[in-house]
Amino acid sequence: MLQSPFAFFRGSAAVMAADLARTPSTGLTVQACGDCHLKNFGGFASPERAIIFDINDFDETLPAPWEWDVKRLAVSFVLAVRENGLPKAVARAVAITCVRSYRKGIRAFSKMDPLGVWYAKVSSEDFLAYVPTAARDRIARRIAKAGARRGSDVDYPKLAEAVNGVLRIHDSPPLIFHPEIPGAAKFSRRVEKILIEYRETLPDDRRSLFDHFRFVDAAIKVVGIGSVGTRCWIALFMSSANEPLFLQFKQAHPSVLEPFAGKSTYPHHGQRVVAGQRLMQAASDIFLGWTSGPNGEFYVRQLRDAKISANVESFDEPLFDAYARACGWNLARAHAKSGNPQMMSGYLGKSDAFEEAVTRFAFAYADQTERDHHALREAVGAGTIEAHTE
């Protein structure tokens, strides 16, 4: 979070949730992402093995006012444009593009029948249509490469090794490592219980698929900026034909929105994440499920399945504009699935008043984020706050 104002913003969803709760609301609720910023969108493989573009992080998902996601997304674009050293006019244009795409998306979905909204998605071809011509071939090649192999096949050579003839996950400290766990038998029983509980959360057909794999090894994996302090494990499974499967077990805490939007109706926070993800995404991971461990509640998904993250740090104005349109439309689709797009569209109207208002908010909040980041750096420099870096 010390790295930059944008990094601070990504790691401070709880701070913004508290701030958003004090802003006016329309009273219209949707299944909200809760941490909706431009780095939490990307490409991944659908169960049909097609690459789609969608939201890909749901740790904070909870029913909440739709405006909160839109505002957080707009602020993230302003901060990212600033971090890339582009002019203020570009930041303003990109924020307006993002919010306008959301408004127009909601209007389009308000005219669709529920099944039309449910089946809507941004395919790789749709996403490429947003991209400037100069960058289209390069991005198309990246998408094709990601879709050519399963994520576990790509990860296997990098993450697995044979030690004395025994297959295990390769230690790569400080990011991936095996903890010191006394008693191999005790650990084995603990893993067995966790996997049994996880299996019960899968639909019957997915259970049958999961049963074709045997557990091999598990290790701790350090998570990124927005999830610092969250426990995360990766587990390696192998089929009878020695085909690998990597699953990620990530701890699920109460949503940062909970103090302001109310408690989840689900008794398990892993279940809350899974239910929110399935509702908001156009297509979700076939191994999505949840379980409990000795250190909390977890949700489970494939470690990476043709996952494509945007290299936002290299974006120029045309790429930011294209990405903003894709993110705004996709957020509208996600909200329309659980909300009332007719009421929302009526509120948003046909003029540009909404995007202008949200953009003004985005600039003001980006300024505040920069001040907060500066205050954090000052506090660390003075020794008031202790910081640990790797």
% of the chain at pLDDT higher than 70:
93
CB 39 within 8 A of CB 64: no
Q: Is the pLDDT of residue 1 over 90?
A: no
Residues 276 and 324 in one domain: no
Cα–Cα dist 318/134, whole Å: 10
Answer with the one of 254, 270, 302 that is the final residue of a domain.
302
Q: Per the domain annotation, does 323 fall within a domain? A: yes
The per-residue pLDDT for 168 is 85
Residue 156 vs residue 47, higher pLDDT: 47
Alpha helices in 220-352 (DSSP H): 258-261, 269-280, 317-338, 341-348
Domain count, the chain: 2
Q: Per the domain annotation, does 388 fall within a domain? A: no
Residues 62 and 170 in one domain: no
pLDDT tens digits for range 363-376: 999 999 999 999 99
38: amino acid identity, one letter? L
Residues 262 and 210 in one domain: yes
Residues 83 and 19 in one domain: yes
Answer with the one of 282, 302, 322 that is the final residue of a domain.
302
Angle (CA) 246-177-200 rounded to 5° is 40
Residues 285 and 159 in one domain: yes
Q: Per the domain annotation, does 257 fall within a domain? A: yes
Residues 143 and 157 in one domain: no
Residues 159 and 292 in one domain: yes
- What domain range is 237 assigned to? 151-302
Answer with the one of 271, 302, 333 that is the final residue of a domain.
302
pLDDT tens digits for range 333-373: 999 999 999 999 999 999 999 999 999 999 999 999 999 99
Q: Per the domain annotation, does 390 fall within a domain? A: no
Cα–Cα dist 76/150, whole Å: 31
137-164 mean pLDDT: 76
Residues 40 and 139 in one domain: yes
Q: Which residues partner with 146 through β-bridges?
A: none
Residues 61 and 84 in one domain: yes
Q: Per the domain annotation, does 77 fall within a domain? A: yes
Of 257, 250, 259, 324, the residue nearest 293 (C-alpha) = 250
Residue 17 vs residue 220, higher pLDDT: 17
Residues 100 and 131 in one domain: yes
Handedness of CA 124, 130, 131, 134 (dihedral sign): positive
Residues 157 and 280 in one domain: yes
Q: Is the pLDDT of residue 327 over 60?
A: yes
The per-residue pLDDT for 305 is 65
Q: Per the domain annotation, does 80 fall within a domain? A: yes
Q: Per the domain annotation, does 387 fall within a domain? A: no
Residues 201 and 269 in one domain: yes
pLDDT tens digits for range 173-199: 888 888 776 655 566 678 889 999 999
Q: Per the domain annotation, does 227 fall within a domain? A: yes
Of 284, 6, 322, the residue nearest 139 (C-alpha) = 322
